[in-house]
């Protein structure tokens, strides 16, 4: 690259780069990085200087790599500069394209430079840069020189990644397709010729260095080509829409691309080998010459190409039949490719037969690219085997596939055995993945996916795989050598000379067999003959299988096996002891406390949690239940695996109906949990353990016990006695922040089941301020807990003013909580505090301490004033109404005292004015009911006690109440109409279903009847006007939904009081006790209100049936609701009507 910048500046940057990674201290490194940042900001040639440094041959690789890294950082900064022009971007793009063809810059550094070039393209709205780059690509891709080909491929990767519009992708592909394929062919033929000319030398150290370098260079270039193709496929496949599908179709039908792909896969170092020792490597996809640089290069190339091929084939299989395969070149390629894959896998697993110095597991572990090659090969087999075109190929090769490929690859390598000790969780994850979804990108998971393809799609595949696995297990448990096969297990004769049976230890044969059986469990359960064969094998070898001296890896496989087959085996009464022995054996694995056997313990926990979690088959486990509980309790002290606590939760929950019959069992469980809590709690407090996950899990178990109706309230005293000390100890400590929800739910459960405050719940009430502080002033789960405390603990609160005041203050403080960093508080959160104050007033009534009542009302009014001062106060309407409801409830409960307070504070008039202004805007039944009942109670107060504000507003308050009741009535009528529609819809569905069963020809008629009967939703309530309260009081949908949920679950003393009857009773009372006042009111209210009032007092409630929300397929389930309002019909009722007009 031509040096066009200051040499001095380059040398300074070189030194700073060196200092940045070789500094003796962090201070020196920071100083170097700061100076580099200043150069970036002040030196317009900074990027050029770094590119020159990256190309200098006399510098270390680390400095050159560091220079490319800083280019990425610098480009981000420069592109974010608003002064950056299109011309500058074009210049930078030209610099990077020139760097791509600079021979002195290493390929890995050039790959780093694709990122800043991509940034340049993406940051520019102009197409000039793309056009300039693509023009160079078209020119250079046809120049058959390494540096130009490299630059064109890297540039193409950038362009393809930066463009998503399909029309441009079409044009790019059409323009470069021919040159792109010729580029690959430029290297493929000479490379194979080079291999052929040195076929006798393809063994270290015979291959000449120059030939080796030439081979590696060609492989690197082809790998770059393959990675570019991978980018193209990825971009074509980036969206699942018709235009991208057409792009993929264009690629799949391209014969030139397919030929190049096949030719690359066909490259082989031993293609023309005549040496017997290496002939097995002919036509083998996997390179195993022993020359590391050649093997790594060729296997990397083929792993990329085979991965691309697999993606294209997966796309083809997924889109069938939308994508036709007649012209699909990659689908056609399978006819040739699949036999090569079979042969390659066979030769790979059997390599030790040909060369004693080779072992396929060692080969895999020494090369990541071989792992990828195997994985892609096996995934292609798994997907191809599901297509009928390749059925015969799989059927013809089934025995060889199983014996020589799949069974060997399914066995565990030495590294997997070491993983049991070093990383037991990873070992179990691999085991679970092999037996379930095969999601990991490993050859072992892919192997088990092929097993599933065979048992699902190949005739005889299930019987072959299942019986082979069973007999191999029997062989491993009972035989010493393959010579015994002919007499004892003739079914295994195909395995007699196999690498699998002859080269692997018995423990590996056994674990492999059980892992395969676990994988195909979902198919074996459909075959009685295979289940009988399997059950016989287990029964005959039960002692050996459950022997504690058997290998640890088999113990893990046995746990996995039992977690899948526990509900399929041993259902005959004579086999129950065998089942119990298997389960009890797994329980003994819980006692394995040594670190190297931790994997067995974890496997046992996973299996037992699965077994005891299942509802359907839990009955058969009852015989093992109390032994299980004893084992779980015994081992709880030394186990901290999270799933162990899930297991205990499953046992205590699903078998509660049996545990409740054994008082000592429940007591022992609670004692063990209590001891474990103290143990874990002390670890956390002392700082020896940061994670509280075990404590969280134990609290969940306790919460589950407290919520279980089989334990509560029968054992509530015992449970409280066991848990009292630890719950209070945790609750009074700062770490209670991690358990406040659990503690609150425990308290809630205690109150629900006892309908009172228990001794434990009373002792937990002083903890509420701590919980509230932890929640940053938001109630969250405290809302429901306080709701139940106020309802069921009213007598206790009346007698304990300090507790009452602290809980009331929490509700008040909620009103003023503001959103801040880390805390999001909505109006619905604040309204929760007002709602709880309403509940508290209803529960305590006029026994609330006067000073507390004064404080609450003052704070309520302060909040109302805040709302009035807001510019967008309309957004707080529902919160305002909830607050006004608190004051009116207080008036209803203690009219004289509260009115006096409001009058003395000179705020009563403003309060009434707000109620009259915003009351008509109420949009939910709860708030309407609060005001209806509160105002109804105020209306019957002694006129002599009424202040002037109330006297002047008496008529308006009555009219508001009438309006709210009318709205309630109309809303109930609408709900009833919807319920009736649902009933009719269910009837029509049943009628339609019967007609379809009688005759398919009637289907269209049924559908038209359905449409005519129901019409559109807009017709649902034509006979009923919507409530005229459309000025929604909620500021947004989030507040509306949250408040709806809160009100739905609210425990409310007013809930079962009928507000219509409540109002009528007060009106009758007013009429009878103060007829003169009543007559005066009647004369003053509006004609509309008078008419509505007459309607209200002349109607009666009746009970009607509506369908429930059950999704049952049976007849419509109905429930009773007391919310339908109808005109009274009977004569005696007519005589009792209240005739307003006659008065």
d(CA 343, CA 341): 5
Our CA dihedral for 138, 143, 144, 147, rounded to 10 degrees, sits at: -90
Contact 107, 220 (CB under 8 A): yes
pTM over 0.75: yes
- DSSP category for residue 1035: S
Closest CA to 112 of 64, 156, 80, 152: 64
Report pLDDT for 819.
82
Contact 324, 243 (CB under 8 A): no
Q: 1118 — phi, psi (to 5°)?
A: -120, 155
Report pLDDT for 322.
77
Contact 778, 829 (CB under 8 A): yes
Our CA dihedral for 945, 947, 952, 955, rounded to 10 degrees, sits at: -40
Report pLDDT for 780.
85
Tokens 């009857």, residue located: 1061
Give 1101's strand partners. 1125
Contact 385, 454 (CB under 8 A): yes
Report pLDDT for 943.
86
Determine how many CB atoms are found less than 10 A away from the CB of residue 366: 12
Contact 300, 267 (CB under 8 A): no
Cα–Cα distance list, 128 to 53, 118, 170 (Å): 28, 14, 19
d(CA 906, CA 910): 8
Mean pLDDT per 10-residue segment, the chain (1143 residues): 60 84 78 83 84 87 88 86 85 92 90 91 85 92 92 93 86 92 93 79 69 89 95 89 89 95 87 55 78 89 95 91 85 94 89 64 77 94 94 95 95 90 93 90 94 96 96 94 91 92 92 96 94 94 94 96 91 86 94 91 94 75 88 90 91 90 91 89 76 85 92 90 82 67 87 90 90 87 93 94 95 90 82 94 86 92 88 73 93 90 92 92 89 91 90 91 89 80 76 56 42 31 34 70 87 86 88 86 86 82 57 44 44 40 39
d(CA 515, CA 1029): 66
HEC string of 2-34 equals CCCCCHHHHHHHHHHHHHHHHCCCHHHHHHHHH
Determine how many CB atoms are found less than 10 A away from the CB of residue 505: 11
Cα–Cα distance list, 1085 to 817, 931, 1070, 1072 (Å): 42, 19, 15, 19
- DSSP category for residue 1022: T
Contact 922, 1033 (CB under 8 A): yes
- DSSP category for residue 924: S
**Distance of alpha carbon 726 from the chain centroid:** 33
Report pLDDT for 1102.
63
Cα–Cα distance list, 800 to 720, 721, 766, 848 (Å): 22, 23, 11, 11
d(CA 220, CA 107): 9
DSSP of 492-514: GGGGTT-HHHHHS-HHHHHHHHH
Q: Which residues contact 643 (CB under 8 A, 6 or more apart)?
A: 602, 605, 606, 609
**Distance of alpha carbon 139 from the chain centroid:** 49
DSSP of 847-867: GS-HHHHHHHHHHHHHHHHHH
Tokens, residue 1013: 């009967």
């Amino acid at each position: 690259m031509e040096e066009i910048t200051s040499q001095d500046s380059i040398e300074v940057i070189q030194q700073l780069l060196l200092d940045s990674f070789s500094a003796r201290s962090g201070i020196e490194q920071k100083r170097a990085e700061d100076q580099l940042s200043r150069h970036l900001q002040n030196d317009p040639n900074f990027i050029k200087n770094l590119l020159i440094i990256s190309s200098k041959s006399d510098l270390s690789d680390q400095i050159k790599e560091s220079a490319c890294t800083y280019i990425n950082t610098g480009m981000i900064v420069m592109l974010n500069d608003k002064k950056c022009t299109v011309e500058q971007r074009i210049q930078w793009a030209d610099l990077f394209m020139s760097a791509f063809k600079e021979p002195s810059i290493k390929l890995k550094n050039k790959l780093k430079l694709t990122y800043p070039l991509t940034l340049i393209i993406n940051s520019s709205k102009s197409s000039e840069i793309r056009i300039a780059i693509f023009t160079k690509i078209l020119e250079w891709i046809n120049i058959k020189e390494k540096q130009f080909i490299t630059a064109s491929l890297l540039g193409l990767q950038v362009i393809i990644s930066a463009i998503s519009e399909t029309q441009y992708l079409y044009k790019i592909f059409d323009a470069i397709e021919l040159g792109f394929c010729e580029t690959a062919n430029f290297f493929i033929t000479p490379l194979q010729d080079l291999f052929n000319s040195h076929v006798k030398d393809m063994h270290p150290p015979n291959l000449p260095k120059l030939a080796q370098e030439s081979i590696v260079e060609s492989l690197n270039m082809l790998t770059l080509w393959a990675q570019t193709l991978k980018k193209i496929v990825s971009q074509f496949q980036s969206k699942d829409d018709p235009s991208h599908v057409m792009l993929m179709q264009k690629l799949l039908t391209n014969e030139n691309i397919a030929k190049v792909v096949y030719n690359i896969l066909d490259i082989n170092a031993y293609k023309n080998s005549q040496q017997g020792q290496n002939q097995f490597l002919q036509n083998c996809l996997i390179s195993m010459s022993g020359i590391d640089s050649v093997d790594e290069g060729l296997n990397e190339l083929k792993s990329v190409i085979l991965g691309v091929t697999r993606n294209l084939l997966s796309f083809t299989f997924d889109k069938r039949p939308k994508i036709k395969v007649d012209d699909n070149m990659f689908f056609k390629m399978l006819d040739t490719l699949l036999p090569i894959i079979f042969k390659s896998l066979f030769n790979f697993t059997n390599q030790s037969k040909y060369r004693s110095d080779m072992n396929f597991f060692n080969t895999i572990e020494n090369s990541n690219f071989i792992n990828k090659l195997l994985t892609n090969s096996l995934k292609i087999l798994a997907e191809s085997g599901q297509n009928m075109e390749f059925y015969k190929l799989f059927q013809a090769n089934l025995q060889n596939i199983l014996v020589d490929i799949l069974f060997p690859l399914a066995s565990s390598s030495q590294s997997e055995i070491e993983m049991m000790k070093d990383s037991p969780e990873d070992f179990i994850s691999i085991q679970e993945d092999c037996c379930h979804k095969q999601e990991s990108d490993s050859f072992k998971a892919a192997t088990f996916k092929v097993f599933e393809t065979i048992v699902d799609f190949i005739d005889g595949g299930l019987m072959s795989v299942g019986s082979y696995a069973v007999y191999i297990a029997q062989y491993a448990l009972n035989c010493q050598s393959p010579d015994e096969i002919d007499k004892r297990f003739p079914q295994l004769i195909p395995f007699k000379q196999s690498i699998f049976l002859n080269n692997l230890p018995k423990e590996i044969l056994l674990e492999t067999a059980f892992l395969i059986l676990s994988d195909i469990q979902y198919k074996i359960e459909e075959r009685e003959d295979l289940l009988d064969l399997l059950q016989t094998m287990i029964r005959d070898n039960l002692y050996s299988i459950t022997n504690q001296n058997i290998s640890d890896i088999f113990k893990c496989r046995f746990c996995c096996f039992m977690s899948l087959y526990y509900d399929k085996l041993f259902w005959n009464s004579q086999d129950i002891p065998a089942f119990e022995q298997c389960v009890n054996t797994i329980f003994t694995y819980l006692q394995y406390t040594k670190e190297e056997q931790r994997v067995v313990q974890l496997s046992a926990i996973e299996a037992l949690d699965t077994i005891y979690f299942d509802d359907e088959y839990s009955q058969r486990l009852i015989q093992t239940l109390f032994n299980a509980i004893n084992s779980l309790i015994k081992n709880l002290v030394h186990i901290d695996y999270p799933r162990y606590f899930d297991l205990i939760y499953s046992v205590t929950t699903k078998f509660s109906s049996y545990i409740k019959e054994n008082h000592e069992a429940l007591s022992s469980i609670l004692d063990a949990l209590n001891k474990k809590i103290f143990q874990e709690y002390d670890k956390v407090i002392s700082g020896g353990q940061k994670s509280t996950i075990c404590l969280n899990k134990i609290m969940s178990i306790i919460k589950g016990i407290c919520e279980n109706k089989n334990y509560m309230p029968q054992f509530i005293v015992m449970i409280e006695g066991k848990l009292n000390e630890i719950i209070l100890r945790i609750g009074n400590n700062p770490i209670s922040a991690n358990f406040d929800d659990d503690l609150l739910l425990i308290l809630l459960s205690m109150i629900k089941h006892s309908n009172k405050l228990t001794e434990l719940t009373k002792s937990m009430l002083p903890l509420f301020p701590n919980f509230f502080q932890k929640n940053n002033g938001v109630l969250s789960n405290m809302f429901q807990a306080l709701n139940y405390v106020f309802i069921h603990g009213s007598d206790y609160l009346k007698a304990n003013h300090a507790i009452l005041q602290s809980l009331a203050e929490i509700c008040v403080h909620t009103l003023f909580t503001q959103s801040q960093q880390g805390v999001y508080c909505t109006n619905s959160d604040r309204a929760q505090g007002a709602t709880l104050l309403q509940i508290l007033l209803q529960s305590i009534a006029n026994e609330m301490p006067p000073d507390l009542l004064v404080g609450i009302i003052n704070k309520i009014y302060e909040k109302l004033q805040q709302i009035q001062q807001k510019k967008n106060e309309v957004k707080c309407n529902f919160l305002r109404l909830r607050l006004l409801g608190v004051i009116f409830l207080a008036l209803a409960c203690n009219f004289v005292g509260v009115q006096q307070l409001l009058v003395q504070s000179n705020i009563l008039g403003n309060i009434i004015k707000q109620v009259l202004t915003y009351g008509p805007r109420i949009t939910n039944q709860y708030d309407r009911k609060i005001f209806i009942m509160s105002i109804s109670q105020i209306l019957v107060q002694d006129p002599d006690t009424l202040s002037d504000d109330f006297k002047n507003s008496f008529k308006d308050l009555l009219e508001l109440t009438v309006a709210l009741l009318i709205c309630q009535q109309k809303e109930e009528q609408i709900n009833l109409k919807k319920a009736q529609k649902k009933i009719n819809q269910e009837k029509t569905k049943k009628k339609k279903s019967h007609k379809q069963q009688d005759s398919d020809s009637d289907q269209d008629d049924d559908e038209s009847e359905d449409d005519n009967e129901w019409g559109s939703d807009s017709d649902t309530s034509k006979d009923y006007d919507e409530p005229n309260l459309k000025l929604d009081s909620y500021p947004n949908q989030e507040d509306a939904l949250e408040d709806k949920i809160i009100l739905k679950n609210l425990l409310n003393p007013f809930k079962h009081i009928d507000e219509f009857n409540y109002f009528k009773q007060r009106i009758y009372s007013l009429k009878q006790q103060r007829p003169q006042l009543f007559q005066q009111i009647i004369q003053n209210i509006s004609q509309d209100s008078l008419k509505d009032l007459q309607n209200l007092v002349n109607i009666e409630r009746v009970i009607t049936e509506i369908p429930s929300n059950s999704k049952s397929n049976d007849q419509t389930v109905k429930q009773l609701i007391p919310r339908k309002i109808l005109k009274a019909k009977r004569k005696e009722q007519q005589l009792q009507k209240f005739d307003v007009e006659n008065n």
